Amino acid sequence: MTIKVGINGFGRIGRMVFRAAVQNFPEIEIVGINDLLEPDYLAYMLKYDSVHGRFKGGEIVVDGHTLIVGGKKIRLTAVKDPAELKWGEVGADIVVESTGLFLTKETCQKHIDAGAKKVIQSAPSKDDTPMFVYGVNDKTYAGQAIISNASCTT
């Protein structure tokens, strides 16, 4: 079964999530990316990484507000308010919230209201959103719709 993922924030963490998904997890499909930068710059930053080298997941092409990677089309948006992202239009099962701005249940609920089924925050939450660290407490995950991975560096 394919897991459809949207990424909000295509900085270092958003791009690393993208690379990992495309290069290592064929069951994950990236269906949308939201970032305020220009599409050509997003493509450039994905293609060339000073730490991880060139992207090895296929050719990267920008066509208007679509990023085409290895022949797969990914919707690009540049929206500040997650409530306007229309994740339902692209069928996002999970949104990776990697802007560092939306770190509460209340703010991440906007992604769900916009059509996502679940949200994973890439930074420590600022409220009582449950935090999970793989190998530490990940087995206690009970299907919560909004979670934090505790830190993008752990």
Query: Which residue is it, tokens 């997650």?
Result: 82
108 is catalytic: no
Single out the catalytic residue among 18, 19, 152, 153. Answer: 152
- 93, 4 contact by CB (below 8 A): yes
- Residue 120 to residue 94: CA distance in whole angstroms: 7
CA dist 120 → 15, 47, 87, 91, 94 (Å): 15, 24, 14, 16, 7
List alpha helices for 32-120, DSSP H.
39-47, 87-90, 105-113
| Residues catalogued as catalytic | 152
